[in-house]
Amino acid sequence: MWWGFLWDVFTRKLKSYYMNNKVGKLKIWAFIILGIGMICLVTGSIITIKENTGKEKSGAELIKDDTDISVPKTEGKNPEGDSEGLIDGENNGITIGDRTDNDSDSEDGKKAEDTEEIVPEDLEEEIELIPNPYKDYFLQNPDMAAWIVVPGSVIDYPVMWTPDDEQYYLKRDFNKNSSAAGCLLLDTDTCMDPLTTNLIIHGHNMADGSMFGSIMKYESEDYMKEHKFIHLFGKDYEHIYEVMAVFRSKVYYKTDECFKFYKFFNADTEDEFNYFYDNVKDLSIYDTGVTATFGDNFITLSTCAYHVENGRFVVVAKEIEPGGYFEPLE
């Protein structure tokens, strides 16, 4: 169109009265040069527009590519449109926000990457083993299952376990010599390894306060608050318990249909756990403020009481945390 227009103007002007005029000839040449300049200007503008359009398109593609790299893989379609989604576990099992198919913001992707980087590869802490303070006693008498300590009280004794003869240490001391006080006995239906839900320890109520003669003091809530922690040193580690319930009970006849605290050893179901837990909390002389849920472990201290025939005074404590872990005995 521009070429046709300029040619038409040129031919008409050439035939005009300027043909024989020197000034007219100069004007014609000026007009021709101006026309060529306009053509170059228009052509350059068109080329520039096309180049800019191409660059903008490339920039958009570059941003999209960067986004696809930075956004963490999520469930469903991946950034490239794969309808199969992603394999669970590629993200180390970590859910990073609520992502959708349209989440392509590079800043969010960077945050997600930062989150993944700070997750430790190994969450397990190395346990430092310490010498067992009762190692010599364990080696001296294999019948010893543990050593029990109630800080601030006289209770600081070995606990014996003889599955073949539960009463072997009833009238024998640690060295198997005759003794009226005997030893503390771990019920043969309970066990340290594997650990049963409830560890029942029986002990004589000695008049001089030795053995379990002092646990009657737990009838006082003030005494309980000052002696609420019980430590049981096993072969592998120290068990720490907190007093949860204190009550009086008795040994019932086999035909009696009632709650028998001394018959709870292991909770295979939540119902079995709750049956024991609810009953000891209801029987407790006062509320200790300590609660428990299915999966917790207990220790039960039992001694003779004389409020009824075959009476028992009972202290139940919940395991709260392990103490030190011990080096092998040998």
pLDDT computed for residue 304 by the predictor: 97
Cα–Cα distance, 128 to 142 (Å, whole number) = 25
Assigned token pair, 294: 């299915």
- Provide the pLDDT confidence category of residue 60 given band limits of 50, 70 and 90: very low
> With contact defined as beta carbons under 8 Å apart, do 320 and 299 qualify?
no
Q: What is the band of 283 on the pLDDT scale with cuts at 50, 70, 90?
A: very high
Q: Is the pLDDT of residue 97 over 50?
A: no
Residue listed under structure tokens 């008498």: 141
The dihedral over CA atoms of 31, 37, 40, 45, expressed in degrees to the nearest 10, equals: -120
pLDDT of residue 126: 78
* pLDDT (mean) for 184-197: 96
pLDDT at 69 over 90: no
pLDDT above 90 covers what percent of the chain? 60
- Reported as a pLDDT band with limits 50, 70 and 90, residue 232 is very high
Q: Is the pLDDT of residue 53 over 60?
A: no
The secondary structure of 25-62 as a DSSP string is: HHHHHHHHHHHHHHHHHHHHHHHHHHHHHHHHHHHHHH
pLDDT in tens, 125-170: 678 999 999 999 999 999 999 999 999 999 999 999 999 999 999 9
CA gap 169, 185 in Å, rounded: 7
The residues, any chain, with a CB within 8 Å of residue 80's CB and separated by 6 or more, are 68
Query: How far is the C-alpha of 218 from the C-alpha of 313, rounded, in Å?
Result: 9
Averaged over 317-329, what is the pLDDT? 94
H or E element, residue 242: strand 237-250
Distance CA 265, CA 199 (A): 7
The Cα–Cα gap between 240 and 290 comes to 14
Contacts for 109 with CB less than 8 Å, ≥ 6 apart: 67, 69, 70, 71, 72
d(CA 72, CA 96): 9
Q: The pTM is what?
A: 0.64
Q: Is the pLDDT assigned to residue 110 strictly greater than 90?
A: no
Which of 38-47, 53-62, 117-126, 140-149 has the least mean pLDDT? 53-62
Amino acid at 218: Y
CA 72 to chain CA mean position, Å? 23
Q: Report the range of poorest mean pLDDT among 28-32, 215-219, 226-230.
A: 28-32
Residue 65 has pLDDT above 50, yes or no: no
When computed from its CA atoms, the radius of gyration of the chain, rounded to whole angstroms, is: 45
Q: Given the structure tokens 């000026």, which residue do they identify?
A: 30
pLDDT for 117 beyond 90: no
- End-to-end distance of the chain based on CA atoms, in angstroms? 105
Query: Is the predicted pLDDT of residue 326 greater than 60, yes or no?
Result: yes
Q: Say what the pLDDT of residue 317 is.
A: 98
For residue 321, the cross-strand partners are 240
pLDDT of residue 230: 98
